[in-house]
């Protein structure tokens, strides 16, 4: 039985997604925001203790090991947080008979497909980060409880460390920037993730949920990292701020420890059909974020 004001446990308190969730869900229920000081996801017993202590009506796992390149040299840390911890959350949610919402990534795919990826496509991650996130998905699925695994892409916000904030700084500091132009995806504002998550929760609270399972949730439209940087630069220029010259380059000219998929586009139509939840275009979301 769901309470009128549900108790919601949200992990990853200081991350950009959790911060957006806190701002968006504050009036929807009693939020328990847990950061690393209160919830060490590398220790399964700590997760079980906190869930059992709070006895929430809903768990949202917004925590993740997101240092994609660093994960190549720290696979154990990545798998502890991205793979084992989600499985523990799923087990505790199933024990309580409550739903779990968990965020995953476009990096579970290898990017070789010519069209946007659907939920039916077979994952094949290129890097340790993607492998650890896929392992987390499968750990949740193995429990077979009520869950939503929401794959998203290129997340940014006004907090934390992300492409938007890095570009805003570098575009004003450097005369020229070389930006990868052959990786295509959908920049997704953390605020978009939060508002869409709220819509999903509201449908659940109203007793009208769609099917539980794995869904794609990104902003609409597509661009490259170069195109995203151009859009950020245009907003700087509109405010009369300096902006570097941007040069498009292929991924081969910007080698990184972790390989990235060239095609990160995700087809989000299943979420719209099952849950009647849709997202804004990435350019509009960027405008809303920068406001």
Are 69 and 31 spatial neighbours (Cβ–Cβ below 8 Å)? no
How wide is the angle at C-alpha 93 spanned by C-alphas 7 and 58, nearest 5°?
Answer: 25
Active-site residue (options: 129, 156, 215, 254):
129
- H helix or E strand, kind and range, residue 228: helix 225-238
Residue 17: how many other CB atoms lie within 10 Å: 27
> What letter does residue 281 receive in the DSSP assignment?
B
- H helix or E strand, kind and range, residue 203: helix 190-205
Residue 129 known to be catalytic: yes
How wide is the angle at C-alpha 175 spanned by C-alphas 172 and 181, nearest 5°?
Answer: 90
Dihedral of CA atoms 91, 150, 11, 164 in degrees, nearest 10, equals: 160
- Residues carrying an active site annotation: 129
């Amino acid at each position: 039985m769901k309470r009128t004001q549900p108790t919601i446990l949200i992990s990853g308190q200081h991350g950009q997604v959790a911060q957006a969730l806190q701002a968006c869900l504050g009036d929807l229920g009693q939020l328990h925001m847990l950061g690393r000081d209160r919830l060490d996801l590398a220790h399964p017993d700590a997760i079980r203790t906190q869930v059992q202590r709070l006895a929430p009506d809903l768990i949202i796992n917004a925590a993740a090991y997101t240092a994609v390149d660093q994960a190549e040299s720290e696979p154990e840390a990545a798998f502890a947080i991205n793979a084992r911890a989600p499985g523990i959350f799923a087990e505790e949610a199933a024990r309580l008979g409550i739903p779990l919402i968990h965020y995953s990534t476009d990096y579970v795919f290898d990017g070789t497909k010519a069209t946007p990826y659907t939920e039916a496509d077979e994952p094949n991650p290129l890097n340790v980060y993607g492998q650890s996130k896929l392992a987390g998905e499968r750990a949740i699925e193995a429990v077979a409880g009520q869950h939503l695994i929401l794959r998203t892409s290129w997340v940014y916000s006004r907090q934390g460390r992300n492409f938007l904030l890095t570009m805003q700084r570098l575009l004003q500091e450097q005369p020229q920037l070389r930006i990868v132009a052959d990786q295509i995806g959908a920049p997704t504002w953390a605020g978009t993730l939060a508002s869409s998550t709220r819509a999903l929760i509201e449908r659940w609270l109203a007793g009208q949920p769609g099917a539980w399972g794995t869904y794609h949730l990104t902003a609409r439209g597509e661009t490259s990292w170069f195109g995203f940087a151009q859009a950020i630069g245009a907003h700087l220029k509109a405010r009369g701020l300096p902006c570097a010259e941007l040069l498009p380059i292929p991924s081969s000219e910007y080698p990184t420890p972790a390989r990235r998929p060239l095609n990160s586009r995700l087809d989000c139509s299943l979420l719209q059909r099952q849950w009647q939840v849709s997202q804004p275009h990435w350019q509009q979301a960027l405008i809303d974020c920068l406001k």
